[in-house]
Copies of this chain bind each other. A is one copy, B any other.
């Protein structure tokens, strides 16, 4: 079972939590300054250190050399946010190590030598951080990690230096979005040191009322403080979103029911559907489900649908590249079958 089908704490608003840690090898140039041969040597060194004498870990993780994967498999990893799009396009020797439940992924020779990412369902930043830190400690015990007493962990990009950590959540904010409150909320979060982005990171537009929220800082503050800050802010945001949902429904029950039930009707019967429309309709249904309008649909159903309808997931399931229209047809079918 992959982690993202699960529900987690506060999962009516927070879909998932993610913590990323960057680590680099001491005395070795950062990946962008490594040639093919040297990057390969380092990648193997990191991989070997991770698996050394550990049969359990070997069976728990998959090592993927991206240039050996089909295009649809590469794209599927990006779509699931297990690897970055940057990693796919790197020229030097790079790979990913991914846990079978897809909750932990390690990118080797992306921007940093080692990038560990840990994901959890719902608002579960602490667990996500623990798992990431535990994975990082394997490397820290077995490899010379670049660390400065003054700055902390050293990274290729100075904005990551310090903890080398970035923690973020994927929040579903239809209440704030429908009420037209997202812009002021994003601005005020930004002043508080948080960043609000669309679903696929920087510069991406929000789809399906989904927003990635992370802290800006990495330097001069401890990991636990960073996570506490983010959690504290999220508690407020979650309350605000819940209040908005209830208020919207109280004030315009017909409008909201109409929006939710139409979305459900279209998802249940359409024969062609783009990713963008699907995300938007799923957002309406998820909203409706959270305020009790759709008793026959569970949050797990919605998570399952959401994880299956990206262009790459669909192509991976078919084992081949497909035209957009073929994907739209297949997407509509997947949704119909899962909503039955």
Contacts and interface: CB of A to CB of B under 8 A. Distances in A.
A265 interface: yes
Contact of A272 (B254, B266, B268): B254
A10 interface: no
A271 B256 CA distance: 9
Interface in A219-269: 254-255, 257-258, 261-262, 264-269
A272 B254 CA distance: 7
Among A255, A266, A329, max chain B CB count under 10 A is at A266
Contact of A254 (B254, B257, B258, B325): B325
Interface residues on A, range: 10 to 19
A265 B261 CA distance: 9
Contacts of A267: 265
Contact of A266 (B257, B266, B271, B325): B266
Contacts of A291: none
Contact of A271 (B258, B268, B272): B258
Contacts of A258: 270-272, 332
Contact of A269 (B261, B272, B329, B332): B261
A15 to B, nearest CB: 24
Given A265-B266, A266-B262, A329 B254 contact: yes
A332 B265 CA distance: 13
A272 B329 CA distance: 28
Interface in A258-297: 258, 261-262, 264-272
A261 B270 contact: yes
Max count, chain B CB within 10 A of own CB: residue among A261, A269, A325, A329: A269
A262 B254 contact: no
A261 B258 CA distance: 18
A261 B269 CA distance: 5
A267 B267 CA distance: 13
Q: Which of A257, A261, A329 has the most CB of B within 10 A?
A: A261
Contacts of A266: 262, 265-266
Residue among A257, A271, A332 having the largest count of chain B Cβ atoms under 10 Å? A271
Nearest to A257: B271
Contacts of A272: 254-255, 258
Contact of A265 (B255, B257, B269): B269
A105 to B, nearest CB: 36
A54 to B, nearest CB: 50
The 10 A-B residue pairs with the shortest CB-CB distance in the complex, in nearest-first order: A265-B269, A265-B265, A258-B271, A261-B269, A258-B272, A257-B271, A262-B270, A265-B266, A265-B268, A261-B271
Interface of A: 254-255, 257-258, 261-262, 264-272, 325, 329, 332
Given A258-B332, A262-B266, 20 more contacts: A254-B271, A254-B272, A254-B325, A254-B329, A255-B272, A257-B271, A258-B270, A258-B271, A261-B269, A261-B270, A261-B271, A262-B269, A262-B270, A262-B271, A264-B269, A265-B265, A265-B267, A265-B268, A265-B270, A266-B266
